[in-house]
Amino acid sequence: MNLLPTLLWKEWRDHRAALIGYCVGVPPLIAWGLSALSATRRVDPLLPAAAAVGGIAIAALTLFGDLFAGEEQRGTIKLLRRLPSGLSKIFLAKLLFLLMATALMGGVAWLATTTAAAALYGAPFAPRLSLPARDWLVLLFPLIAWIPAAAIWLSRATLALPAAALTLALFAAPVGFAVWLQPWLAPSKGELLVAYVVVTAAGPFIAGASFVLGRRRSTRPFTPAAVGLLATLALFVPAYGWTGVRFAKGLVLEPAAATFRIATNSAGAVSQDGRFAWINAFHVAGSRNVAGITDYDPERDGPLHTVQVDLADGRWRPFGSLGAMVLAPGSLSERRNAAVVGLFRDSALRRRDINHDDHERDETLLLDAVTGEPLEATARAALLAKRGAAAGALLREACGLVLPDGRRVWRQDDQLMIDPGRVLPDSRCLESGWTSSFWSSGNAGFGVRVAERELYDPSREKRFRVAPELAVLFVRPGHWVVYGWDPKGKRGTLAYDPESGATAPLLGSEPNDFVSALLPDGRLLVRARLGSGRDAEPALVLLDPETGAREELALELPPEALGMVWQPTGTDDGALVATLWGANVARFLRIELPADRRSGERARVEVTAPLELPCESIGVVGADGQSVIAIEAGRRLVRVRFDGSPPEQLFPK
């Protein structure tokens, strides 16, 4: 005999009063509620769908809990256990009744809303069904699915909703806590969708196991809860295992993997002897594993690994803790090869405040860039604080600003020093992260930022305060170069007299000039356009802002090769290296200046072979007189020589 109609009739008799009252009372209440809305909201096509969601929520808060807990409260659970159909068929009948009642309550709310809006206010009848875009709707359906299970465990309908929410939160907490500590463990959108569907669909199964197995032979009140919680644990164990496996994989760096990347937004450094490169490597998130993605995203990608690469043979070794980042000290000149590198621990990196003094004292490890050995505590503290004669020699060498006459300027004991160890007058540096940090350069050409909007000019041995509307690009002997408003009200690159505060057009500058870098002899590297109209072609020019003299660099390159000029980098022999990029091809340019400009000798220019990559995929790690160490495609370290030979892959090999 088929007992399903009988069991459904039983559920109807138990809950018919509530269902009939709902179907009779809701339509007039909805019509009355529409009158309280604005005219725009009354005809909103999303309103019927929102009402249907409300009807489903009412069903969840009433029937979903009472359907099982009511049997306990009415004392009919013992009768159900004796029925020949067994508890499994009873559960299936209850579940089917729940689905039918939920559809009825949601459908009545939708039909009453669209009918009242159409009849009373002229809204379209039965608009296209679509849910309102609300984040909380995502949580509604798993909660509804787990309310019956919670009601069975507690035998109380009133506590079913908070119990279901608490259960899901507690069992998901280990994964959530791991993701909070290590954001790179976060699942992808596809994985989240699978987990969402599985957890939502598992609710009725957990409820069935709790009801059928928990009540089949035991009358103890905690037995259904024990069965259900064990089943819930089994449901979440794969997620725990997945998180653990993913974490274990994150501990290992695999340069041969397709997801391997070298971060170009923190390019690292090359040791002073040119033997070793220090880089930050990671495994990119699966959703970001596409060409051109080389910047590190701590919220999505795997943890950073600090790696020292031997450029002679490609051997590498990891340094520091998982998630640490390597940086070279901030040189007052353009980036030079490093004597010391620093590892910022994960806690400092996570707070994204690597310049804060506490982080520098407590969470930074200083290493010898060649040997990788940590500096002893006294030397480390002296360097980070920039204090003492012992630190002064290294600060001069590693962080010093090289002036056009060859002298060096460096920070020591909260003031500026100049060769041969003399304190510059009135050069006290105010304590702030961006002026006193060991890691930020604070330079502007041949000047040093000593306080907010205050710069020190070592050639004049004076400090100057700059107006807020001016952005200082380069401090240099003679006129500075700034960006701001000229006397005619036009905004652009200007010459600036720091003594009088007056601005003037840059002598020798032309309308299409773009200043890219300051050269060691005080001239400017300018990307210009020679000619007029459509016939104008890009060129690189050395501009002397004191005399207006322009020297065009002899480059045998197609015009499209000069689309951008960026990443100027100094070398230890006094040359300047810049990146040329255009038409998805990058080249490196080396400019060697004559020892005496009065000799009339022209600057020597050398250009490397091209790298056919988007500009975002190339980062300069270091340069010397013969080559550039660059990150190609975020996947490998290459040496690009100025003799035009093909790039040599250094890592991985």
Residue-wise pLDDT for 538-549, tens only, equals 888 889 888 888
Residue 236 has pLDDT above 90, yes or no: yes
pLDDT bracket for residue 52 (50, 70, 90): confident
Amino acid making up residue 247: F
Q: Which of 108, 143, 116, 115 is nearest to 33 (CA)?
A: 116
Q: Tell me the average pLDDT across 135-145.
A: 79
Residue 240 has pLDDT above 90, yes or no: yes
Strands 305-310 and 316-319: antiparallel
Residue 432 has pLDDT above 60, yes or no: no
pLDDT bracket for residue 347 (50, 70, 90): very low
For residues 352 and 348, give the distance between their C-alpha atoms in angstroms, rounded to a whole number: 7
Amino acid making up residue 290: V
Residue 354 confidence (pLDDT): 34
pLDDT bracket for residue 515 (50, 70, 90): confident
∠ Cα 242 246 250 (to 5°): 170
Q: Tell me the average pLDDT across 489-515.
A: 86
Q: Which of 474, 478, 479, 481 is nearest to 443 (CA)?
A: 474
Residue 11 confidence (pLDDT): 76
User: What is the residue-averaged pLDDT of the chain?
Assistant: 78
| Edge-first strand listing for the sheet containing 415-418 | 401-402, 408-412, 415-418, 422-423
Residue 356 has pLDDT above 60, yes or no: no
Taking the complete model, does pTM exceed 0.75, yes or no? Answer: no
Q: What's the number of CA atoms in the CB half-sphere (13 Å) around residue 526?
A: 27
Residue 591 has pLDDT above 70, yes or no: yes
Name the token pair of 327.
């940086």
pLDDT: which is higher, 4 or 646: 646
Residue keyed to tokens 């051109």: 292
Residue 292 confidence (pLDDT): 64
pLDDT: which is higher, 559 or 630: 630
Q: Tell me the average pLDDT across 645-651.
A: 90
143 sits in which H/E element: helix 136-154
Residue 324 has pLDDT above 60, yes or no: yes
Residue 353 has pLDDT above 70, yes or no: no
Bin 610: left if φ > 0, else alpha if -120 < ψ < 50, else beta.
Answer: beta
3-state secondary structure string across 212-236 = HHHHHCCCCCCHHHHHHHHHHHHHH
Q: Are 329 and 335 in contact (CB under 8 A)?
A: no
Q: What's the number of CA atoms in the CB half-sphere (13 Å) around residue 470?
A: 26
The DSSP 8-state label assigned to residue 338 in this structure reads B
Q: Tell me the average pLDDT across 173-201.
A: 85
Residue 351 confidence (pLDDT): 36
- Buried b or exposed e, range 36-73, using 16+ CB within 10 angstroms: eeeeeebbbeebbbbbbbbbbbbbbbbbbbbbbbbbbe
Residue 262 has pLDDT above 80, yes or no: yes
Q: Which tens digits make up the pLDDT trace of 271-320?
A: 877 888 888 888 887 666 666 677 777 777 778 888 889 988 889 988 87
Q: Tell me the average pLDDT across 319-325.
A: 74
**Range in 1-15, 154-168, 197-211, 382-396 the model is least confident about:** 382-396
